[in-house]
Homo-oligomer: A and B are copies of this chain.
Amino acid sequence: MRATFMYGAGDVRIEETPDPAIRQPTDAVVRVLRACICGSDLHPYHSLPSAPEGRPMGHEFIGVVEEVGSDVATLRRGDFVIAPFAWSDGTCEFCREGLQTSCLHGGFWGGNGIGGGQAEAVRVPLADGTLVKVPEPVDEALYPALLTLSDVYGTGHHAAIRAGVTSGDTVAVIGDGAVGLMAVLSAKQLGAERIILMGRHTVRTDLGVEFGATDVVAERGEEGIAKVRELTGGRGAAKVLEAVGHMPAYEQAVGIVRPGGVISRVGVPQYDDAAVGFASLFGPNVTLTGGPAPVRAYIEELLPAVLDGTVQPGKVFDRTVGLDEVPEGYKAMDAREALKVLVRP
C-alpha cells in the first residue's frame, strides 16, 4: 500500500510499504476512508532532523474495519470507525478516568511499528479500547465532520473542558487554526457568553465567528494584549484557550488572563521553560492546565450533534487531496494557503 513518510524538515514522501496485518490478537486493520494533515504535523515539518528512515505520518483517520484479531470483541469487518489520535486499552486506571493519552499500555501513531493515518490502511493496536464504532449507514457528506473527532474537535473541546468554561464565561482563544476554531465552537457549546478569537487570517476568523466568536482581535503581542484587556474592562479573560504552542502564544495568554483565571493549553508546546513566577502566574493566582486531549473520552459525547448536523466542525477542511498529493497538502498548510487539508486515499 501507499503511505506518507517524513524524512526530515520539509521532506514528505509517499511510498510503497507492506500492507498492515494483524500482529496481536487485540489488533484490527482499518482501511482509511479519510485522513488529514494536522497543524501539529507542521512542527516536525519545520524541525525534524534528516534521517535515512522516514517517520510514518498522520494521526487522524476514519475508516472501515477490514480485519480483526482473535481477541477483538466489539468490532467486526465492515464497521465504520473513528480513530482517536492516541491508541489506548480502555481498561487501565487512566483510561477509566478518561485520560487515555496516559494509558498504561497505549501510544501514538507513527512509531514502534505502528503506521500513520496518512495511508491506505493502518494496523490499530488495542482495537476494542481505541476505536469508536459509528452506527451505519454513514452519509459520505459527514466524513469531514466525523474526522474532526479524531483530533481537532476533541482537542478544542478539551481546551474548553480543562479551562472549566461554563455558562456566561468570557473566553479568549489564541490561534485561528483548526484547533483554535474548534475551541471557539466548544466554548460556545459550553455556554460562553463572550468569545474573543485572536487570529489574523480573515477567512479563518470569519469561520470562527460562524462557530461562535463574538470578537476578533487581529493584533498580536503587546498590542493584542492591550486590545483584549480593553475588550474586558481592563481585567482580561477568565478562560484563555491556547491553541498554538509557540512561546509568543504563551506570553499572550499570560498577558490576557484575568486574575484567578485559567490558561488551558492544547497547542503542543515548542518550548520547555516558560514564565510561571510571581509576576506571571503565581501573583494573580492563574492556573495553567491542558495537554494532549484524551479525545477518545469525548467522541461518544460529541458524536450525536455531529451526526444530526447541529454542529458542523467539518467546515475546517478547505482543501481535499489524494494520497499522492499529501506533500503539496503540507506545503499549502505551511504557507497558510489551506486551513486544514483532508486526505482521500
* Interface positions of A (Cβ within 8 A of B): 93-94, 97, 99, 101-102, 162, 235, 259-260, 265, 268-269, 271-292, 294
Inter-chain contacts of A271 with B (CB < 8 A): 277
Chain B nearest Cβ from A200, distance in angstroms: 25
Q: In the complex where A269-B277, A271-B277, A272-B275 touch, is A287 in contact with B289 (Cβ < 8 A)? A: yes
Contact assessment for A284 and B291 in the assembled complex, using a CB-CB cutoff below 8 Å:
yes
How far does the alpha carbon of A202 sit from the alpha carbon of B294 in the complex, in Å? 42
Residue in contact with A285 in the complex, picked from B102, B279, B282, CB distance below 8 Å: B102
How far does the alpha carbon of A278 sit from the alpha carbon of B272 in the complex, in Å? 7
Closest 4 interchain pairs by CB? A285-B291, A102-B259, A272-B277, A287-B289
How far does the alpha carbon of A268 sit from the alpha carbon of B287 in the complex, in Å? 15
Inter-chain contacts of A102 with B (CB < 8 A): 259-260, 284-285
Contact assessment for A288 and B289 in the assembled complex, using a CB-CB cutoff below 8 Å:
yes
Inter-chain contacts of A99 with B (CB < 8 A): 259-260, 285
How far does the alpha carbon of A172 sit from the alpha carbon of B128 in the complex, in Å? 35
Residue in contact with A276 in the complex, picked from B273, B279, B285, CB distance below 8 Å: B273
Contact assessment for B283 and A277 in the assembled complex, using a CB-CB cutoff below 8 Å:
no
Inter-chain contacts of A276 with B (CB < 8 A): 269, 272-274, 276, 288
Inter-chain contacts of A272 with B (CB < 8 A): 275-280
Inter-chain contacts of A285 with B (CB < 8 A): 99, 101-102, 162, 289-292, 294
Inter-chain contacts of A93 with B (CB < 8 A): 235
